[in-house]
Structures are given as structure tokens and as C-alpha cells.
Structure 1
Amino acid sequence: ITEFSLHDRKAASDRTFLLAVAAAVLRHCPELFISLEIDAKTLDQQLVRALGGLCCSVEIPLAGTEKGGALLFDKKLYSGRAALLNREGLVFGFLMGWGCQPGDTFRAFRDRLDFALSLYPNHVEFPQLDEPRDPKPTGVYSSKDMDFSRGMAFACRTFYTAGRAVPWFMGVLKALRVSPSAFFADFDEWQQCGSCSYVTGFDPDAVPHAEIEKMQLSFLKEKFDEKHKANLFPVVDDLVRLNGAFSRVAAEGEEGLVETTYNPDELLSPAAADIARFAENSCQEPCRVRVFAGSDAPDYRY
């Protein structure tokens, strides 16, 4: 066994049990990759430090609390927990849903999605996508909005999670001046036009990452042209393909050769987070970059 998942609602809120699990894994099988569902309120400094010694991914349910017919969402709680995990260098993702809790609305779902992506999770999962039907519509969450939510969730699953977009996604959205939810709404429409949406049974997890990358670049080129920012696309193209090559080395052990318009050292620096400024201040320097497995992590040469 090389991987193990513990996604249990009772265990997710049992801090003592989770500490015991972390200690047992570290003692008996430290090389095991473990995926743990943990409630945000359960995460604290001690638990995060215990998890820091493991090869693991923390899955955090992103949910609100119903009060007086409205769904309240504690952004401060989730921001703080994400900061804890980031300081420890832990991989984490969110588990999200729509229309499941009393008081939920389409607007609230979009707000949660925008907020979730702003915390730079490694992935966002939507368990409801594996269910054939949406929750029953309510007076504040129509069946049409349920359909829109499913499409946006599937778009996020395809573009962000299967597309391994976390290193560059928010920088791209900043350049486009668009929110994550609006971006995914557009990508959902693009997927439906291209017969690669949930409606047609498309499965992004069954497609090689390189194919998802082609979809990303095709859509992004359209968006940057549409926004009259085609001059920024060479930077975006480099970022997507270079980071994609790194991810394939890490996940599939697949070496890659990437031809970039800009120097890879600059593309992989913090300066590339601001795409517009990078394009304005950086000189084009075409390079052929070989991405390969280093001694501890993916590496590159040019």
C-alpha cells in the first residue's frame, strides 16, 4: 500500500484520533501518502505540526452555518487555517458543495468558490459531481442556478484541479480582471460548446494532463484576445506549459522539453505573479528548457 485515504465525517472532527493517526503513520509507514479529511475547526498548530512530518494532503470541507434562514460563512476561520498549512508547507484542498445546506444560494456558492481559490488550494473537489442529481431547488436556489453551479463546479474540477493550475491561476485571473466564479462560468460554456462538459460525460481524470493543458491554453488564448490583452498571452503560455512540465515530472515521472519565449529563471520567480508587469519589464529570451527529475524535486536546464 502506497496511498491511503481517511475521509470520515466523525474522524474529521476528532483531533485526538487524528493526532494518533499521524503518530502511527510516522512510526510505522512514514513513506505512505495519506489523504485526510479534517474540519477547519479541528485544525490547530499542534495537529498541523504533526501532519508536517507526513507525506499527506489535507482535505477541508468548506461549509457554512445556518442561522435564521441564512448561511453564514466564516472566512476568517478558513483563512487562518490555510495560513497554518502554508507555513508548514502542507498540501491542502477544499471539499465544496452547492445547495446542500439550508439557506444556501447561488450567490453564496459563487462567493465561496471565489474565496476558496483566493487561498491557493492545491485542488478543489466537489463530491456532488459524482451524484446524478442536484439537491432539491428552494425559494432562494432555483433549479436553473443548480445547473449553473454544477457546470461551474465541473469547470473548476477540469481546469483547476485536473489542470494542476494552482501555481499560475490567480495571476492569470488578475491579468484578465475576472473572478474565479466568472472564469469558471465561461469555461463551462466553452466546455459545453466543445462537447467536453459533464453533460457529455467527459472525465478530466481519465485524460492525460497534456490534453487538459491544451484545453487550458486554447481557452486562455480566446480570453486574452477577447479582453484585448493578446500581448500578455506569451507570458501566460510560458507559465502554463513550464509549470505543466514540472507537474508531469512530479506526478508521472515524464521528462519534458519546453520552448519558452522568456527566460525560465524569470518565469519561475515571484516577478511572474504579476503577468502584466512581467510582460512590460521583461525582455523576451527564447529558450529550450529541459524539465527532469532532480535528486529531491523536479529540476530544469536550458
Structure 2
Amino acid sequence: MVHGTLRVAFLHAPAAASLESAQTPGFGQALGAASVAAALIGAGLCAPSDLLALSADAYPEDQPFLARIEAFNPDIVGFSLYSWNSARLVKIAHALRERGYAGFIIAGGPDAEGLALIDDKKGIFDAIFLGEAEREFIGWIESVRNATGRKDPCGEAIRCSAPDLAKIPSPWLTGLFDLKPGASIAWELTRGCPYRCAYCYEGRGSDRLRPMPAPRLEKELEVFLEKEVAEVFVLDPTFNVQNNRALEILAFLRKKAGSRVHWNFEVRAELLNPAQVKAFAALPCFLQIGLQSSDAQVLAGIGRTLDRGKFVENCRLLDSQGVVFGLDLIYGLPGDSLGGFLKSLDFALSLAPNHLDIFGLSVLPGTELWEKREELGLDAENEPPYALRSHYSSPGRQGFSESDMAEAREIAQATDYFYSKGRAVPWFKAVVEASGMKASAWLKGFSCFEGYERQANPRHGDIEEAQIGWARTVFGQPGPKARFASLATDMIRYFGAWSRALAEGEKTILSLAYHPETIELAASAGLARLIRNPNFQRQPCKAEIGPSRKGPILRLLK
């Protein structure tokens, strides 16, 4: 039984270290868990000192992790489950029970759905909360307190209704995050999503958009600025779905934060308009756009649409205004094939995104795809992250075999290395066009290149050498394309040095076969067009590219 003030431990694990690195150990990225913790404090059930938040990533070994939990002596241990952390955290919950922990064990988070539906270990949990749990968790505690005896854990699933956001306390204003200067954080402006994408967890929740109260957002932003937060990832699934609200928020951020914070938004390309783009351009920000596929028929099968003309038009508009954006693709979608994925890759790269995030399909429990997996012929893992192994062919489509999935994965990894981590966007299109290859063929070839050394955290200089090695391989074959080799090499080195001066503050001295003006012209006009010019010629020189207060600076050396 639970009486008096509670002691509660919340366990989580981040998707990536980037949002954690500037913060002390605590809730980290686990904003959902922190919101539930703030609700406990608001209900008077505990004080901040009665809460413990631990990231599993801080404990590579299970024994120290378990010992730390037990030393806190919590009444309740809550697990914040996502597809990337469920396997380890459920294992920890099971180990707690085996070691004799007699308190309550609960679970929440997106992958709580998978635990409730298919995990045979769910019986060690006293309750599994599905959805926004701030209100139901408080109610569950009251029911446990009023019960006449302790029930055996049974993995009871509690479907939560959407709370009134004006009545739930803010974890940022409750002091649950110990922010340090330079921190990167996640911020929630709105809950709900009007779209019903078949593969997505968001499609299970409310389709009613519920904004956080403006006074709360104003106070939270004041905290971020006071603590010198450097970067904010806005969690709204589609930030620009309501045009007027998006413009109001962007104006508010511009007025209050100026250039002190870098912002990251997820937007829908077709909903962009000149006013939005102008407002985004006034902020230091990055936009992520979910393309997923360029095939309208494939998209229709997962509850999405694509206005191809509008998509291209608005991406061009972003580019013209200097707004940095990236695109998402998914391989393995129902009705798609390896060939279809490669066409989507070509389409995405034709828009020159700053980077391209490519994911293999996960058939997440509780989503529409999971419910229709047999009908659609989806063969996926039953354990997190529920990765698709293959799917059967459909009329007029080849489907994705296991070998197709493996090949798509290799191409996706090569694209991330060569294009995104390689910062190739300034020169990629011009160089690939000169080769006569499609972008997908270029990257597929690179994925098999012996000079491509797969590394978890490669240095940009190492990537650049691999890029040059592949370009020389392509252009080094006897024939008319051979004349592009040295210019392509100069372009890769020149723009690579420029990116390092901007990102790392690094100075590079280059020995170039062509003058920098020629290199920049080649990137915009194309190598083939430039070389056909009768006045085109080599002009060997040395150049220094380095950082300055106003950005990278070029200096020609004698």
C-alpha cells in the first residue's frame, strides 16, 4: 500500500546523446515522464526531493543501475518506454522483481502500447499507462491508496484521456530540469495531430490540436533564456498545420529570443507559404520535412498525400530565403519496392536538402500498420524496434524481400555518410550530373566502394577523403568524363573546408587546380557547361579558408 508522501523513480533512456550532453543527469529528454512528475508535485503527492530520474545510458551495466534504484527506496518505479529503449528497460523491471522489490512498477511512453499488446513480461507491471498520463496516474495512485489490499501485478492497461493542458503543471516551471548553459532541450507547444499516418504513434492519439496556454509558454521561454539554452527541438508533429498560430509563435520567438536560441521544427512542406517562410528566415532555425516517399500511391496506402508540385515549389522557396531544411524517407513501406525507394531518393536529393534522414519501416504495436500487418503481408520483428524484415509483393509491385531491405539499409547508411555527414549539398548535384549517373546510382555505387570505411562518428576530413576517392573512381575511367576529375576534387575540398570553418572553426590551406570563383561557378552552373566554355582553363592557386566573426573567410595565398 502507498501512504503519505511518495518516493518515485523515473527511468528512461535517450534516443541520442545530443540532447543530453549539456545537461546534468536527470529527466534529460524524457519530457513525458517529467510532465507526470510535475503532476505529482502539483497534486501534493511528493516534493522534488522525493523524485529520482535516471537515464539507463548512464549505467552501461545492469547491476549498478539496479543498485542505484534500490538505494533510493522508491514506492513507485516508472519506466518511460520507447522503441529504442524498451528491451533494456523491461529487462531492468524484471530484474527488480527478481531481486525482491515489493513496490509498484508502472510503465508509460509510446512503446507502452507494445508492452501491453505483445510482451509476456507485462505481468510484472502494476499498471501500463497508454497516452497522456498526467491525470490518470494521479487517479490510479488514489485508487491504490484506497484499496483494501495489494493486488498482484497483472499488467493492467489504462487508456488515458487527453487532459486539460491549462490544468497540468509545467515540468520546466516546477524546477525538474537542471539546465546548464548551452543545453539542447525538447519543448512542447501543442498536443494532438490532425493526420492519421498508418505507421505513426501520433495517429493513435487525439486529432484535436490542443495548444499549451500562452502564459505558460512565455514563462518557459523566460527560463530557457535565463539558463542560456542554446537549442530547442519543438515537439509539435506538424508545427505549421495552423497558419495563424505558427506565425504568432514565430513572431513571439523572434521578439523574445532573437538570435540567442537555435530552433528546430517539423513542418509539412505543402502547408508552407511566403509569410511562413519569411518568418522562419528571421529566426536561426532548421526545418525537418517528412516526405517518406515520392510515390503518391504508396503514400495513399499509409494515410498520407503528396502535392508534388507544391512540395517542390515550397522547398525551392525555403532555399531561396536561406532557410535550412532536411527531408525524411522511409524504405519498406507497403506497396513500395527497392526500385520505388531509389526513385524517392532521387526526388529527395533533387531538392538539395541540407541532410536526408532515411529510416527502415518499423511496424509499431497499436498503429494501423500493426493491426493490418497480416493483410498487408508485413513480416516484422515482435521485439523493439519492430523492424520490418520483408513484405510480400502486391499487384503491380515487387515488394521488399529481406535482401532488398538489406540493400536499402546499406544505401541509406551510405547516403547519411556521404551526403549528410559529408556536408555535400553545395556541390553534390553538379558533380553527380557531370557523371551522367542518377543520385541513387552514385550513392549505391559508393556503398560498395572499398574506400568507404563505416564508422560510428567519422571525422569530416575522413569523409572528404572517401568522397574524393569515389569521385576519382567515377571520373577516372577513360573517356570524356575524365576531364571532370580535378574540378570535382577541388569542389569537394573547397566546400568541405568552408563547412569546417563554419561548424568547427577550423582553418584549412588548399592547393587548388582552379580559382575559387571557378569552383563556385561550377557548383551553380554545372561542371559540363563550364568546361564547354572556350575560355575555361585551369588556374592553380593556394587558398586559406578559416573562421571569422562574420562566418568563413577566404584568403588567396601567393
Shared fold (TM-score, shorter chain, > 0.5): yes
Q: Determine helix, strand or coil for the equivalent of 2:286.
A: strand
Q: Which has the higher contact order (CA 8 A, sep 6+)?
A: 1
Q: Which residue of 2 aligns with 1:117?
A: 349
Q: Which residue of 2 aligns with 1:283?
A: 537
Q: Distance in 2 between matches of 1:71 and 1:144?
A: 27
Q: 1:21-47, CA deviations, whole angstroms, 9 ceiling, x for partnerless residues?
A: 322321221221111110123222221
**Structure 1 residue 109, shift from structure 2 partner:** 1.2
Which entry has the higher C-alpha Rg, 1 or 2?
A: 2
RMSD: 2.6
CA contact (8 A) 2:430 2:523 kept: no
- Give the aligned length: 293
Task: Select which of 325, 332, 337 maps to 1:99.
Answer: 332
Q: Please report the TM-score for the alignment, with normalisation by the length of structure 1.
A: 0.87
**Paired-residue identity, %:** 29
Alignment of 1:215-234 (within 5 A): 215-226=466-477, 228=479, 229-234=481-486
Q: Which amino acid aligns with 2:473?
A: E
Task: Select which of 474, 490, 497 maps to 1:238.
Answer: 490
Q: Determine helix, strand or coil for the equivalent of 2:447.
A: helix
Change (3 A) 1:17 1:98: farther
Q: Which residue of 2 aligns with 1:41?
A: 270
Task: Select which of 204, 211, 223 maps to 2:462.
Answer: 211
Unaligned runs of 5+ in 1: none
More helix by percentage: 1
Task: Select which of 284, 298, 302 maps to 2:552.
Answer: 298
Q: Which amino acid aligns with 1:96?
A: L
Q: Which residue of 2 aligns with 1:81?
A: 314
Unaligned runs of 5+ in 2: 1-228, 363-384, 394-398
Change (3 A) 1:73 1:47: closer
Q: Which amino acid aligns with 2:423?
A: R
Structure 1 stretch 5-14 or stretch 206-215: which is displaced more?
5-14
**Structure 1 residue 216, shift from structure 2 partner:** 0.4
Structure 1 stretch 287-296 or stretch 161-170: which is displaced more?
287-296
Structure 1 stretch 14-23 or stretch 29-38: which is displaced more?
14-23
Alignment of 1:237-256 (within 5 A): 237-256=489-508
Q: Determine helix, strand or coil for the equivalent of 1:96.
A: strand
Q: Distance in 1 between matches of 2:336 and 2:304?
A: 6
Q: Which residue of 2 aligns with 1:52?
A: 281
Q: Which residue of 1 aligns with 2:514?
A: 262
Q: Which amino acid aligns with 1:291?
A: I
Q: Determine helix, strand or coil for the equivalent of 2:247.
A: helix
CA contact (8 A) 1:168 1:273 kept: no
Q: Does 1:27 align with 2:255?
A: yes
**Structure 1 residue 273, shift from structure 2 partner:** 3.4
Q: Please report the TM-score for the alignment, with normalisation by the length of structure 2.
A: 0.49
Structure 1 stretch 148-157 or stretch 63-72: which is displaced more?
63-72
Q: Distance in 1 between matches of 2:302 and 2:422?
A: 37
